Amino acid sequence: MNHSAVHDVMPFVGRFPSWEAFDVARQAHCEKTLTMYVCRNTVKVAVANKRRKLQVPDNWVYDRKVYVLSEQSDNGRATLLIKITGQHVVHSDHPVGLEQWRMYSQNRAAVQEHPYLTHEAELMRRVGSNKKAARAHIEYLSGKVCTMKDMHNLYARLKKRESAVRSVEAERGQSQRAFNAADMEAAHSRAQQPDGSRDVRVESVLQRFVNADVENHASILSGDDGSNEAICVASRAMKEHFRVFPELLLLDLSVTKLVDGHTRQHLHGFLSMDALGNTKPIFVALSLTTTPALLHRICQDFKRIPAS
């Protein structure tokens, strides 16, 4: 690309093999000169090819793009025009101050698009930190500017999501109570059924759990004789917590007795600790025994969770 009418100290010149390569070079130029270009107009290749003999491949999609500065020049004209054919660029940008450049939305901390920053802000909101302290913490973690307006929008979004979760949990609680009442009415008849029927019921409950969310995980580990030895479960919320805090800190084992007083169940809980020191389960398994071979199979099932 040829260069003309340049008014800054670092002209943006060059030829680029693709629009993607141009975008990378444009972003680097903006960071060096503290400028910000916004794409104002585009012309598709399919439209431009109708008016020329030299045809441009369709995979380029765009024949030309027009960029303008966020801070317009005095004459108000478009400041950057890039064409595939003709190789022409009119360049008339001007630098701004560092603080002003950092305040552009493209250069601020994208809290709502970053799961870790959103999680940190949610933790500070739950412990009672004000928005000013949360903003300072986000700026420290990201190294970018975070305005109070960004924090207002984020807190409003978190409150809206929390209200939605509460309403969903309330509906689930009502349906669960109705479900438990129906179970109590049929408890005696189920107790008289053979073990095979109970296994079918367990599988149907786990299938409903998996169908409730595509990221929910449930598996049944069977022994050589075909009996069920362990049930492993991990919800979507557990997976999200593990993605943010991927360090496994504790393996908890709880033993409970069933109604008959003889059979004991072993609950294996894989726990992870967040930034505030709170431990949350990220994977649970229920079994009747704790043999080394079974524990190894449970751990192998847990290792498949992060990739799912």
Cα–Cα dist 183/180, whole Å = 5
pLDDT of residue 263: 65
Secondary structure (DSSP) of 247-282: -EEEEEEEEEE-TTSS-EEEEEEEEEE-TTS-EEEE
pLDDT of residue 4: 41
Q: For residue 47, which of 33, 63, 32, 30 has the smallest C-alpha distance?
A: 63
Question: Do residues 145 and 242 share a domain?
Answer: no
Helix pair 115-126, 236-244: axis angle to 10 deg: 100
pLDDT of residue 8: 44
Question: pLDDT tens digits, the chain, 308 residues: what are they?
Answer: 434 443 444 556 677 777 788 888 888 887 777 777 777 667 776 776 666 655 666 666 666 677 766 555 445 444 555 555 443 334 445 555 666 666 666 666 667 677 777 888 888 777 777 888 888 888 888 777 787 888 888 888 888 887 887 777 777 666 656 555 555 455 444 444 555 555 557 788 888 888 888 888 888 888 888 788 889 999 888 888 888 887 767 777 777 766 555 567 888 888 888 766 777 888 888 888 888 888 889 888 888 876 44
Structure token digits, residue 94: 């001007």
Question: Do residues 139 and 90 share a domain?
Answer: no
pLDDT of residue 52: 60
Final residue in a domain of this structure, among 140, 159, 178: 159
Q: Is residue 282 part of a domain?
A: yes
Q: What is the span of the domain harbouring residue 266?
A: 194-303
pLDDT of residue 88: 38
pLDDT of residue 252: 77
Residues 6+ apart with CB under 8 A from 84: 45, 56, 60, 63, 64
Question: Do residues 125 and 95 share a domain?
Answer: no
Cα–Cα dist 199/222, whole Å = 11
Structural contact between residues 56 and 49, judged by C-beta atoms closer than 8 angstroms: yes
Phi, psi of 91 (to 5 degrees): -125, 120
Q: Is residue 174 part of a domain?
A: no
Question: Do residues 214 and 239 share a domain?
Answer: yes
Beta bridge partners of 298: none
Residues 6+ apart with CB under 8 A from 30: 36, 37
Question: Do residues 211 and 296 share a domain?
Answer: yes
pLDDT of residue 50: 63
| Amino acid letter, residue 96 | V
Question: Do residues 129 and 79 share a domain?
Answer: no
Final residue in a domain of this structure, among 99, 123, 143: 99
Question: Do residues 243 and 265 share a domain?
Answer: yes
Q: Is residue 1 part of a domain?
A: no
Q: Is residue 223 part of a domain?
A: yes
Q: Is residue 47 part of a domain?
A: yes
Question: Do residues 65 and 130 share a domain?
Answer: no
Cα–Cα dist 236/280, whole Å = 13
- Total domains, the chain: 3
Whether pTM > 0.85 for this model: the answer is: no
Helix, strand, or coil here: 152? Answer: helix
Cα–Cα dist 114/108, whole Å = 12
Q: Is residue 179 part of a domain?
A: no
Cα–Cα dist 131/152, whole Å = 8
Question: Do residues 46 and 129 share a domain?
Answer: no
Residues 6+ apart with CB under 8 A from 131: 148, 151, 152, 155
pLDDT of residue 78: 41
Final residue in a domain of this structure, among 64, 99, 134: 99
Residue 109 CA, distance from chain mean position: 15
Q: Is residue 61 part of a domain?
A: yes
Where is 201: in which H helix or E strand?
A: helix 195-212
Question: Do residues 200 and 299 share a domain?
Answer: yes
Question: Do residues 121 and 212 share a domain?
Answer: no
Question: Do residues 71 and 53 share a domain?
Answer: yes
Q: Is residue 168 part of a domain?
A: no
